[in-house]
Structure 1
Amino acid sequence: MKKLLFAGLLVLGVTGCMSMPTPSTPMTNVVDIVALNGQSKDQIFEKSKIWIAKSFKSANNVIQYQDKSTGQIIGKGTIPFPCDGFIDCGAFGQDRVNFTIQIDTKDNKARISFSDITATSLTYVKGGMNNIGGERQILIVEHQQRIESKLKLIAQQYKADVINQQTESKDW
């Protein structure tokens, strides 16, 4: 009976030690095509620059490359890590998600791409534990899913803002 009880506790204990699923590749790209009917490539390009200026703290620091003839804007951005719950936010709440954003414009649509997606931990001491920080790939599936949905939300905010710029009245 003792052996059976010990075996049951051992199986129960080992089951609780299962690791989180890890993808074979780190998170790389998130791409969204945005339909912007009735707008030319140049209009979308200018409105994209306005959106970047309104959405990021410093558009001059974000935009690394822009070419109106090709309709392309490339920049570097960062967002807070999208943590969920007490334990997750305790472990990753101070982290930042870094990415390269690329907006390609054509008549009636734009493609917004996020690439080079990494996370950066800040250096801090908490509860006697030292976190040395640094940049790392995103390898946890749940984190990849949360970050992907956050980046897709940013793409939807981009679409809403570009459309809203179209309907704003110039007569004030």
Structure 2
Amino acid sequence: MKKFYLSALLLFALAGSATAQKTKYAGYDRLPKDSTTHKVVYTAVVPVAGASKDELYNRGREWFARTFNDANRVLRMDDRTAGTLIGSGIITQPALEAFSSGNNYHFNLAVYVKDGRFKYELTDIEQKFRLGGKGQEFSNPLEFWATHKINKLNNHELEDADERIKALLASLEKAMAAKLEGTVKKDW
């Protein structure tokens, strides 16, 4: 009987340990993914009451210019008639731990506007880094982490990248909801 209880106790302990290992580092699992392609994608349709397609287009263009310092270098598609802005950008992540080198996350961002709403899609996120901050540059799509072991540092980097991307998109939503700065202060 003792063997039975000891075996049951050991089995429960191992099951709990296995569950803890799966949830301990959930950096990749917390990223939003497309249900069909399983690629990491941040997307939303955001209502902006009372804003016309042209107003939203202008706000989006200004946001690209202010956020990336030069909209003309970032935007690959700029179509006022279709209400489409597509660009590429980089989010820089400093070294998060003593022996890490920091990362750059390259991505594509599409903004589509219609009267009263806009949609964004941030896709094709690629992590680029140099080991020790020097030497050859390495590059992985974020989906790399779906099939590779994640350690504490990788997990921290993915969680931090997620927060930085969410902050970027929150700044887009805020800019799209606000009237353009140029239209507010005409009396300079």
- TM-score (normalizing by structure 2): 0.65
C-alpha displacement at 1:132, in angstroms? 2.1
TM-superposed CA distance for 1:141, in Å, is 5.4
CA 1:156–1:40 in 2, change beyond 3 Å: closer, same or farther?
same
Q: Percent identity?
A: 20
Tell me the distance in 2 between the aligned counterparts of 1:82 and 1:33. Answer: 31
Instruction: Tell me the residue number matched to 2:184.
Output: 168
How far does residue 80 in structure 1 lie from its aligned partner after superposition? 0.7
Structure with a larger share of its residues in helix = 2
Q: Identify unmatched segments of 5+ residues in structure 1.
A: 1-14
Instruction: Classify 1:143/1:63 alpha carbon distance in 2 versus 1 (closer, same or farther; 3 Å).
Output: same
Indicate the residue corresponding to 2:58 in structure 1: 46
Bigger shift: 147-156 or 36-45?
A: 147-156
Tell me the equivalent position of 2:70.
Answer: 58
- The number of equivalent residue pairs is 148
Alignment pair present for 1:133 and 2:147: no
> Can you give the 5+ residue segments of structure 2 that lack an aligned partner in the other structure?
1-16, 146-153
Q: Which has the higher contact order (CA 8 A, sep 6+)?
A: 1
- Whether 1:71 aligns to 2:86 is no
What's 1:97 paired with?
105
Equivalent residue for 1:150, pick from 128, 139, 164: 164
Change (3 A) 1:58 1:134: farther
**Which residue in the other structure is 1:5 paired with?**
none
Q: Quick check: 100-109 or 152-161, which moved more?
A: 152-161
- Say if 1:30 and 1:171 are closer, same or farther in 2 by CA, change over 3 A: same
Letter in 2 for 1:98: H
Report the Cα offset of residue 159 of structure 1: 2.2
Partner secondary structure for residue 61 of structure 1? helix
Q: Deviations over 1:83-141 (max 9, x none)?
A: 64x34xx4142x1000000001111111121100011114x666xxx652221122155
Give TM-score scaled by structure 1 length.
Answer: 0.70
Q: Give the stretch that moved more between structures: 41-50 or 141-150.
A: 141-150
Partner of 2:128: 120
Cα separation, partners in 2 of 1:71 and 1:82, compared to 1, 3 Å: farther
Q: Among 1, 14, 35, which residue is 2:47 paired with? A: 35
5 Å matches for 1:72-87?
Answer: 72-81=84-93, 84=96, 86-87=97-98
